[in-house]
Amino acid sequence: MEQHLSVADMAMLTAGATMWTTAAVPAADIASLSMADGPMGVAGARVDERDVSLLTPAPVALGASWDPALVQQIGQLVGGEAIRRGVDLMLAPNLNLARSPLAGRAFEYFSEDPLLCGQLGAAWIDGCQSTGTGAVAKHLVCNDSETARDQMNAVVDERTLREVYLLPFELAAEARCAGMLTAYNKVNGSWCAEAAPVVTAIAKNEWGFPGVFMSDWFGTHSTVGSLQGGLDLEMPGPARFLGAHSAGAVEQGAVPAARLVDAATRVANTARRFGGAKGTPMNDSAAADLLVQAAAAGFTLVRNEGGILPLDSTRYPRIAVIGPNASAPCFQGGTFAKIAVKPDAVLPIEALRQRFGAAITGYTPGVDPQPKLPRMAAQPARDLGDGCLRGMTIDYFDNQDCDGAPLASETRDTNSLTWFHGVHDAGALQRDAATRASGSYTASDTGGHLFYVGGTGALRLLVDGQEVFRRDEQLAPGDVMGRLKSGDADSVTVQLAAGQTVAVVAELRYAAARCQGLWYGVRGPGSAQSMMAQAVAAAQQADAVILMVGETSDASVESKDRPDTHLPSEQIALIEQVCAANPNTVIVTNVGHAFDTRWDGLARAVLHCWYPGQEFGAALAQVLAGDREPGGRLPVTIAAADADYPALSLQPDANGDLHYSDGVRVGYRGLAANGVAPRQAFGAGFGYASFELDAPQLHDVADGWEVTVKLRNTSHRVGAEVVQVYRDLPELTLVGFAKATLAAGAEQELRIAIAARRMQVWDGGWTDVAGPVRLLVGRSSIDLPFTITI
């Protein structure tokens, strides 16, 4: 306990010192901790393409691996990367659930199932914290969607809250995570940062969790409410509601002194635990190998008619690669935790050419790879002596007219710029000012070029000195973040000739606010019809086709859910026409959530790759060639129709309430209870190897049971299998699983622990499920051939 500290020092500890650091009391051995956002790696505080960090597979891809040991290694990799970047605490893992396929951040969620999510989250925490880097699990609780997330109230019954949405956090607490991040939303009427029934009554008192509870950034609403709710640390700093205000609340008698001592103790203990000795980051070679392994382990094969995969170039000597995601893969979603990917990350098309050589006859995207905001291959307007030969020259001014010498200048090789007050010091964000991006662009084709520009204020676009677009609208400070998140841009057509070089200038004039953004791009000539025709011709001339479809990073964003589950209509048309032109088509999907796959029967094979991290290209080439197994199983249910999902709409009602009316029957549980067959079942998938299971046996052990099952690899190659155990009452529920990799012809006895809690429900307290209860054992939620009765 920290009673020896002054009230002022204890109060200081309850608020961050800066945007990404905690306060320090050196005399009491309490260091300042540096934080960074996750969970796919160490996000740079500046949201800057130059802050390159290792990008791991997204949690949904790790969830598809069903492999806690592998996920632990990924956590260890990220913990080591945090050390390299000078970070003490990672805001990760994300333990919310993929309740609806429309959820904007579903790619950050391990699964729709709380046990799979919780066990993989705990493994990630173990790995991260083994390096001396703390893991802060997020977002407590029911932040399972993005629509009005900072206003809506999640209305959820006690049984559902306990068994489903709190279970992953309970397992994180058992893994001794450094802390938990409270969500922006309300739960049952209380802001999550003030939700005493969750934070204090359950997490602190029932679980006995000793870690720190911190707010999500700017997610606090009061002083007394936050402290009385159990919040220990307000982020970011400087304080808005806690900090010195905490001392005032204690002195006025509004908050007990013991509550301030508790908060300061938790912050201090976390600082002492994670502010000291660190491990050694993984070397580059080992990290690359692990990221390839992890990507392939999540690739989920759901169709392979006629054994077309692995692709044999002697059987298919001419292989066409088609589809936008081969050249413009979606590595991650568009959140503020976005990782700056290494510039030499190998694209899928490049890796396929390297692996298959002359068998790859060509590549055509078929549809526009960047439909919302294309990049602009530009050269900077001025040489700033920084060695940067690509990108735009960025000038920061302290006035809206771009008059006088700029405050600062830099070269940025990106088409999307974001600045935050307290993080970026180049611009003048806290006053009315301007930023100008300038460079040169050379056209490769003759025709109409669409130039795009968007931003958080008044905009002007010039091409060769001529103003081609202007909008003088200024945003109110409260509207800036919404514009920044939407990323909407205007466009104008400019006629250029092939080889013509033009000067391009984009100007943003903004009013004072905490953040600003400017984005721009250019799309060259070329009709949708001609791109589709080229794709069909390529398919007709090939023996087999690798068709890569999927999303761009703006399809999965923070603070915005999806309107539907469909791929873009032009991609569906591409699938239909390519498969009609060549039935030997392998569809590779690059999507971060459950989505509509009614076209899946058109192709010979379908491989879901999710968002697989920076080694996507290498992993894909190796899996398609058969050098590696696709090791994934579905971590989410893909329904036959949107109406089949137990939860779909994420729109709160007129009172701001989002009712969790599906209760505990989320995902596969609800489909099973309603007698509805999925299109692709939770837990389903297969590799190139084949396996047999013997009838399982049940054994009593301390605090539960153990299911043993003999697994045999009946194929001539190494492979992996996932054995899953479900209980049948009161609804189908995953209670245990195990993954094993076996050599050709090998046999192994798997042991699957079933904790006593897995056979209980919440009914005012933890109560045994009324029996007799059957354990169902098999390979997916609909493939459960073995039954054991307890």
Integer Cα distance of 717 and 637 in angstroms: 29
Q: Token digits for 229?
A: 């709710």
Integer Cα distance of 680 and 781 in angstroms: 10
Integer Cα distance of 560 and 734 in angstroms: 30
Q: What does the chain come to in residues? A: 790
Burial 485-495 (b: 16+ CB within 10 A, else e): bebebebeebe
Phi and psi at 733, nearest 5°, equal -145, 130
Q: Comparing C-alpha atoms, which of 41, 587, 578 is closest to residue 338?
A: 41
Residue tagged active-site, from 37, 113, 126, 216 = 216
Token look-up 């802050």 returns 51
CB neighbour list of residue 459: distance below 8 Å, 6 or more residues apart: 453, 469, 470, 471, 490, 506, 507, 508, 509
Q: What is the DSSP string of 579-605?
A: HHH-S-EEEEEE-SS----TTGGGSSE
Strands 433-442 and 392-397: antiparallel
Integer Cα distance of 196 and 752 in angstroms: 36
Q: Comparing C-alpha atoms, which of 227, 249, 283, 275 is closest to residue 22?
A: 275
Integer Cα distance of 30 and 270 in angstroms: 9
Integer Cα distance of 294 and 614 in angstroms: 11
Token look-up 């000195």 returns 465
Q: What is the DSSP string of 154-222?
A: EE--HHHIIIIISHHHHHHHHTT-SEEEEPSSEETTEEGGG-HIIIIIIIIIIS---SEEEEPTT----
Q: Comparing C-alpha atoms, which of 239, 252, 325 is closest to residue 589?
A: 325
Token look-up 């020896």 returns 4
Count of beta carbons in the 10 Å neighbourhood of residue 634: 25
Answer yes or no: are the C-beta atoms of 213 and 199 closer than 8 Å: yes
Integer Cα distance of 197 and 30 in angstroms: 30
Kindly list the distances between the CA atom of residue 527 and the CA atoms of 346, 520, 531, 533, 788, in Å, as whole numbers in the listed order: 28, 21, 7, 10, 60
Q: Comparing C-alpha atoms, which of 108, 111, 102 is closest to residue 667?
A: 111
Phi and psi at 423, nearest 5°, equal -115, -45
Integer Cα distance of 44 and 237 in angstroms: 17
Token look-up 């539960």 returns 704
Q: Comparing C-alpha atoms, which of 597, 578, 741 is closest to residue 66?
A: 741
Integer Cα distance of 332 and 337 in angstroms: 10
Q: Token digits for 304?
A: 């392979």
Integer Cα distance of 351 and 626 in angstroms: 14
Q: How far is CA 468 from its chain centroid? A: 37
The DSSP H or E segment spanning 229 is helix 224-229
Q: Token digits for 211?
A: 């870690």
Angle, helices 68-84/284-298, rounded to nearest 10 degrees: 140
Answer yes or no: are the C-beta atoms of 585 and 576 closer than 8 Å: no
Q: Token digits for 315?
A: 């059987």
Angle, helices 114-129/68-84, rounded to nearest 10 degrees: 40
Answer yes or no: are the C-beta atoms of 639 and 594 closer than 8 Å: yes
Q: Is 368 a catalytic residue?
A: no
β-bridge mates for residue 419, sequence order: 516
Q: Which residues are catalytic?
A: 216
